Amino acid sequence: MSIKNRVALITGSGSGIGKQTALRMAESGAKVVINDLVTDKVDATVKEFKAMGLDVIGKPADICDKTSVDNMIKETVDTFGSIDILVNNAGMEYAGALRKLSERDFDVTINVNLKGTFLCCQAAHNYMVKNSHGRIVNIASRAWLGGPGQAPYTSAKAGMVGLTRGLALELGGKGITSNCIAPGLIHTPLWEELPEKNQKFLLSKQPTGQLGEVDDLAYAIMFLADDDSSFITGQIFYVCGGRSLFSG
């Protein structure tokens, strides 16, 4: 397996899953671009990784803004010479009963998850096509299958699945693969904030009875981002401890 010397941009990598993926990729010899909306998170992550001797740079940017995204991708190529791997990991959710959701809740959720992914793919693919090589990995969610109280998020994540499949067909002949990861329950800071009764309920629905770790996702992302994964495209890869097997 190899991603050595490949240039990887991971959105939302100032914390959580994105940060761990950035760490594992950089440890494997990739040149990694840390992106987040929050500049302080980018700076802290870059400082931490550079102290470990890893080859990283930081690019704070709002992925919902086309100009910011275009600049971020251009600066990535200016610094590292190419963009080979794009991991669209940045995401957020406004949840609630349909009657309580505002138009803004829907728009923001769609913009960050779906439009942001679209803009990053659009900007990056221009450079990938030139090199006849690219790996796009979109972090969707098992929630794309539908969840009560998750209308905006489900819509956005289902949109990401459609985008992934469409790009796989469009870019497949140009050396670019496009795949989705659909994570299930993962042990992140957000999990720790949940009330205990919610945690117990969610774990009771988990075939493995356990949470996933951020490394479980990082390794799956790296598998799809690898040079040797050129025959896998347009797929939704569930990393969920078997949760996708249950209907209820």
**Quick check: 203 binds other proteins (CB under 8 A)?**
no
Q: How far is the CB of 85 from other proteins (least distance, A)?
A: 17
* Residues recognised as catalytic: 153
**Quick check: 84 binds other proteins (CB under 8 A)?**
no
CB-based contact 12:89 (threshold 8 Å): yes
CB nearer to other proteins: pick between 14 and 212: 212
Amino acid code (one letter) for 59 = K
**Quick check: 21 binds other proteins (CB under 8 A)?**
no
Listing DSSP states for 167-219 in one string gives: HHHHHGGGTEEEEEEEE--B--HHHHTS-HHHHHHHHHT-TTSS-B-HHHHHH
Pairing of strands 85-88, 56-58: unpaired
Count of residues in contact with other proteins, rule CB under 8 A = 36
**Quick check: 89 binds other proteins (CB under 8 A)?**
no
Rule CB under 8 A: choose which of 51, 98, 100, 173 binds other proteins: 173
Contacts of 203 (CB under 8 A, 6+ apart): 185, 209, 210, 211
**Quick check: 96 binds other proteins (CB under 8 A)?**
no
DSSP SS3 for 11: coil
Rule CB under 8 A: choose which of 169, 191, 194, 205 binds other proteins: 169
**Quick check: 151 binds other proteins (CB under 8 A)?**
no
Q: How far is the CB of 217 from other proteins (least distance, A)?
A: 8
Calculate helix-pair angle for 39-51, 16-27, nearest 10 degrees.
Answer: 30
Residues numbered 31-60 forming contacts with other proteins, rule: CB under 8 A:
none
Name the one range near other proteins by CB under 8 A: 5-13, 68-76, 118-126, 172-180: 172-180
Q: Cα–Cα–Cα angle for 229, 23, 119, nearest 5°?
A: 65
**Quick check: 213 binds other proteins (CB under 8 A)?**
yes
Q: How far is the CB of 22 from other proteins (least distance, A)?
A: 17
Name the one range near other proteins by CB under 8 A: 9-17, 64-72, 114-122, 164-172: 164-172
Q: How far is the CB of 63 from other proteins (least distance, A)?
A: 26
- Rounded CA-CA distance 45/34 in Å is 8
**Quick check: 92 binds other proteins (CB under 8 A)?**
no
Amino acid code (one letter) for 180 = C
**Quick check: 177 binds other proteins (CB under 8 A)?**
yes
How many angstroms separate the first and last alpha carbons of the chain? 37
Q: Tokens 């299930």 sit at which residue?
A: 184
Contacts of 217 (CB under 8 A, 6+ apart): 17, 20, 21, 139, 181, 183, 186, 239
Q: Which residues bind other proteins (CB under 8 A)?
A: 1, 165, 168-169, 172-173, 177, 184, 207-209, 212-213, 215-216, 219-220, 223, 226, 228-242, 244-245
